[in-house]
Structure 1
């Protein structure tokens, strides 16, 4: 499965604990990453500055569902289930 361009659920819904350029403390769940463009594309894609966790995410039906709305719901549940 390929990422749905413009979805950005993984860049908004989930928390990222590692530093991101412009977000040195990481990103809380539910907060839009500062590296997203207006059309929800990652400014750091392919860059060494991109956090390893972001690069490790792979689109799959289990994580992304069949629509952007499903992706947001699935990732929100995963975030809730893995919250410390």
Structure 2
């Protein structure tokens, strides 16, 4: 599965504990990553400073669902369970 361009759910819903450029302490769940632009695209995508956890996330139908809102809901639920 390829990411839905402009979704951004994986950059909003989960907490990220590793440093992100502009967010040295990571980010809490439900907070937009500072690197997510107005079109919900990662400005670090493909760059070496992109956090490893972000690089390793791979979209899948179970997590991402069929809509951006479904992805937010699913990732938010997974975050609450962990």
TM above 0.5, yes or no, is yes
Compute the displacement of 1:76 (Å). 0.6
Alignment partners' CA distance in 2, 1:70 and 1:61:
10
**Is there any run of 5+ residues in structure 2 with no aligned partner, and where?**
none
Aligned CA RMSD, in angstroms, stands at 0.5
SS in 1 for 2:75: helix
Aligned to 2:79: 79
The corresponding residue for 1:65 is 65
CA distance in 2, matches of 1:44, 1:15: 17
C-alpha separation in 2, matches of 1:57 and 1:63: 11
Residue of structure 1 in register with 2:20 after alignment:
20
Count, aligned residues: 82
Q: Helix, strand or coil for the counterpart of 2:66?
A: coil
Tell me the CA shift for residue 69 of structure 1.
Answer: 1.0
Q: Which runs of 5+ in 1 are unaligned?
A: none
Note the C-alpha offset of 1:35: 0.3
- How far did residue 56 of structure 1 move? 0.5
Name the TM-score, length of structure 1 as normaliser. 0.96
TM-score (norm: length of structure 2):
0.98
